[in-house]
Amino acid sequence: MADKQMILVTGACGQIGTELVSALRVKYGTQQVIATDIRDATVDVSLHGPYYRLDVMDKDALYKLVSQHQVTHIYHLAAVLSATGEKSPLTAWDLNMRSLLNVLEVARTEKLKQVFWPSSIAVFGAKAPKESCPQYALTVPSTVYGISKVAGEQWCQYYHEQYGLDVRSIRYPGLISYSAKAGGGTTDYAVDIFQQAVNNSYYHCYLLENTRLPMLYMPDAVRATLELMDAPAEKISVRTSYNLAGISFTPQELAAVITDYIPDFRIDYQPDKRQQIAESWPSSIDDRQAREEWGWKPAFDIKAMTADMLLHTEREVISTDCLES
Ligand SMILES: NC(=O)c1ccc[n+]([C@@H]2O[C@H](COP(=O)([O-])OP(=O)(O)OC[C@H]3O[C@@H](n4cnc5c(N)ncnc54)[C@H](O)[C@@H]3O)[C@@H](O)[C@H]2O)c1
């Protein structure tokens, strides 16, 4: 039986939060998972359990919720992502760093049991190896998003070493899912392409056809997160953030698999600013340490992921409706 936990999730209405909140509620109980976000609740997160509007930059409001509900665990997902971050670098830095420090401080002072905070493959830059990028490759990122993730990783390690806080992290690759829209990252094409393929049999891609990037299907990402948080502390040697790999592919390779299901699907390519960001990232990731230490293993390859995405994209409408909170 899972330990009794009172979990608070920030940024719960986003691409990951929408699915992680559901998985946490299945595992720990509906009332044990408090979803929060700065925006009005989406149907997915508010219908099935407690929801509060929370700006995680508001330290007092965060403390209040944590103490009112005797929160034991925080999954801190609120952030500005890579492509959006480049449009307003100082805002991205401020949100990504200050919100993390608010969460780490409340966890330290209120003696929370665990914190989860996602990092990203964006920590790597042009100086890191492109292929099978190792856990401890140079992290010299070219985006403000990447800079904030490198700094965030160091802060997580600092809070672990100085205060014994059990903070755990994964460097997610680009995440592919159908329940919520992608949130302004460089890998969003691998989400948008399915909607466009199903509705229009056509996709206008903002990356070049041969741009290979590391990706992961959301069910794998959610499972990895739960498995990391469940692992015995003595198995966790990385307190910055774990490399995690799933599937690496190019837009052309993904289009070819989609064409197996939608024969008249067409794609063309016109790179925009996101191409430059994509080129600064590794094309594949070495995640041996996650595999060896806490047993990580992805389940979905490109074919299985595509089949599942198309199945759900055909049947479901992406939920953008908002409810008043
Ligand atoms: N999606 C990916 O491919 C990916 C890859 C690597 C890492 N990550 C990381 O995972 C985390 C979640 O990503 P996502 O894709 O779900 O992002 P998203 O943009 O879809 O969702 C982020 C959520 O944070 C909320 N938010 C923004 N400012 C806030 C504030 N001040 N207070 C409270 N909430 C606020 C937004 O309303 C949004 O719902 C982020 O840290 C991101 O860097 C995501």
CATH number at residue 199: 3.90.25
Same domain, 191 and 211: yes
Q: Are residues 205 and 236 both part of a single domain? A: no
Per-residue pLDDT at 3 = 62
DSSP secondary structure letter of residue 210: T
Same domain, 106 and 141: yes
pLDDT at 173: 97
Range(s) of the domain holding residue 86: 7-174+216-243
Which ligand 1 atom minimizes the distance to the CA of 84? 19
Q: Work out whether strand 242-243 and strand 202-205 pair parallel, antiparallel, or are unpaired.
A: unpaired
Q: What angle do CA 211, 213, 216 make, to 5 degrees?
A: 145
Domain co-membership, 188 together with 118: no
In a domain, 286, yes or no: no
Confirm whether 159 is a catalytic residue: no
* Residue type for position 246: G
**CB atoms closer than 10 angstroms to residue 30:** 12
The three-class DSSP label of residue 72 is: coil
For the chain, give the number of residues: 325
Tell me, what's the pLDDT at 2?
Answer: 52
**pLDDT digits over 174-231, tens only?**
999 998 888 899 999 999 999 999 999 999 999 999 999 999 999 999 999 999 999 9
Scanning the structure block, which residue is given the tokens 């989860």?
A: 116
**What per-residue string of b and e applies to 58-72 under the rule 16 or more CB within 10 Å gives b?**
ebebbeebbeebebb
Kindly give the distance from the C-alpha atom of residue 263 to the centroid of ligand 1, in angstroms, as a whole number. 34
Residues 166, 188 within the same domain? no
The reported pTM is: 0.95
Q: Do 67 and 110 belong together in one domain?
A: yes
CA-CA distance, 175 to 214, in Å (whole number)? 9
> Judging by DSSP bridges, how do beta strands 247-249 and 213-217 pair with one another?
antiparallel
Q: Is 138 exposed, middle or buried (0-12, 13-18, 19+ CB in 10 A)?
A: middle
> Rounded to whole angstroms, how far apart are CA atoms 309 and 257?
12
How many Cβ atoms from other residues are within 10 Å of residue 281's Cβ? Answer: 30
Q: Please count the structural domains in the chain.
A: 2
What are the residues whose beta carbons fall under 8 Å from the beta carbon of 182, sequence distance 6 or more?
15, 175, 188, 191, 192
Q: Give the nearest ligand 1 atom to 16 CA.
A: 16
Name which residue sits closest to atom 32 of ligand 1, judged by CA. Answer: 55
Q: What burial letters (b/e) apply to 174-202, b meaning 16+ CB within 10 Å?
A: bbbbbbbbbbbbbbbbbbebbbbbbeeee
Q: How many whole angstroms separate alpha carbon 57 and alpha carbon 24?
A: 24
196 lines ligand 1 (CB under 6 A): no
Question: Does ligand 1 lie within 6 Å of residue 118's CB atom?
Answer: yes
Q: Catalytic: which of 28, 75, 145, 206?
A: 145
Query: Can you give the pLDDT at residue 324?
Result: 34
Distance 76 CA to ligand 1 centre (A): 9
CA distance 285 to 122: 12
Q: What is the DSSP string of 235-273?
A: G---SS-EE---EEE-HHHHHHHHHHHSTT-EEEE---H
Ligand 1 atom nearest residue 13's Cα: 39
CA of 165 to the centre of ligand 1 (A): 23
CA 141 / ligand 1 centre spacing (Å): 19
CATH of the domain at 116: 3.40.50.720
Measure 41 CA to ligand 1 centroid, in angstroms. 14
State the pLDDT at residue 325.
32
Do 221 and 266 share a structural domain?
no
Residue nearest to atom 21 of ligand 1 (CA): 14
pLDDT tens track of the chain, all 325 residues?
Answer: 456 899 999 999 999 999 999 999 999 999 999 999 999 888 777 778 999 999 999 999 999 999 999 999 999 999 999 899 999 999 999 999 999 999 999 999 999 999 999 999 999 999 999 999 999 999 999 999 999 999 999 999 999 999 999 999 999 999 999 988 888 999 999 999 999 999 999 999 999 999 999 999 999 999 999 999 999 999 999 999 999 999 999 999 999 999 999 999 999 999 999 999 999 999 999 999 999 999 999 999 999 999 999 999 965 554 444 333 3
Residue 64 sits in the same domain as residue 155: yes
From the CB of 42, is ligand 1 less than 6 Å away?
Answer: no
**DSSP tag of 40:** P
pLDDT of residue 202: 96
- Same domain, yes or no, for 109 and 198? no
Residue to mutate (ligand 1; options 144, 172, 178; most atoms within 8 A of CB): 172
Q: Do residues 44 and 125 both lie within one domain?
A: yes
Measured from the CB, is residue 120 less than 6 Å from ligand 1? yes
Residue 79 CA to ligand 1 centre (angstroms)? 4
